[in-house]
Amino acid sequence: MRGPVPGDPGSLSAAGTAARRAARDLAGASERGTTAYLSLKNVWGTSTSVRLRKEGRRSMAALARGGQQADVVGAALQTYAAELSELQARARRVLDAAGPAGLAVVDGRVRPAWGVSGEADPRAARDAEELMRTLQDELDGLGAQHRRRRDRLLAALAESTRTLDEIANDLRLR
């Protein structure tokens, strides 16, 4: 059964960690590559060397920018994973409050659970109705927060994709 707030925070966090690790690796590779290209000046002074060093520095700068984007994406994934975990915990509390009150959450809606729920008592029925509205409001709020946070993550991923596309185009066009 799918919960009111879908998603896998553990996998998202792991993906974020992997992206940030890749960012560190790319930064290190860019630094080492830049040093290597600069050292060519001391041993190879021809025009071909100048052109190679220029292209190498440009490639290493692109590699560094790509690494920065990996870090941005990793941070966004980790932030979203933490937010998602918190939203899911709040949703579990709503589900936990519904059961003992004779309520169930079905397809994102709080409803009376099937079966006999007790004696006919108008006051208890009003209390249950009020709790049902309160829990539904909480679930609706969680759903809205989940959509906003997911949309923010998707926007960050789309922006990073555009930036990476620009980096790739810059490398191709020169």
Domain-embedded: residue 123: yes
Domain-embedded: residue 3: no
Domain-embedded: residue 143: yes
Domain-embedded: residue 75: yes
> For residue 6, which of 115, 87, 103, 102 has the smallest C-alpha distance?
87
Domain-embedded: residue 61: yes
What are 15-19's contacts with CB under 8 Å, separation 24+? 15/74, 15/77, 16/73, 16/74, 16/75, 16/76, 16/77, 16/78, 16/81, 17/74, 17/78, 18/74, 19/70, 19/71, 19/73, 19/74, 19/77
pTM for this structure?
A: 0.86
Dump pLDDT digits (tens) for 67-105: 999 999 999 999 999 999 999 999 999 999 999 888 999
Q: What average pLDDT does this structure show over 157-173?
A: 94
Lowest mean pLDDT among 43-52, 135-144, 150-159: 43-52
Q: What average pLDDT does this structure show over 6-35?
A: 97
Residue 115 predicted with pLDDT over 80: no
Residue 116 predicted with pLDDT over 90: no
Domain-embedded: residue 138: yes
Domain-embedded: residue 2: no
Domain-embedded: residue 74: yes
> What was the pLDDT predicted at 117?
62
Confidence of residue 1 (pLDDT cuts 50, 70, 90): very low
- If one counts the domains in the chain, the total is 1
Residue 122 lies in domain: 9-173
**CATH number, residue 98:** 1.20.1260
> What was the pLDDT predicted at 45?
82
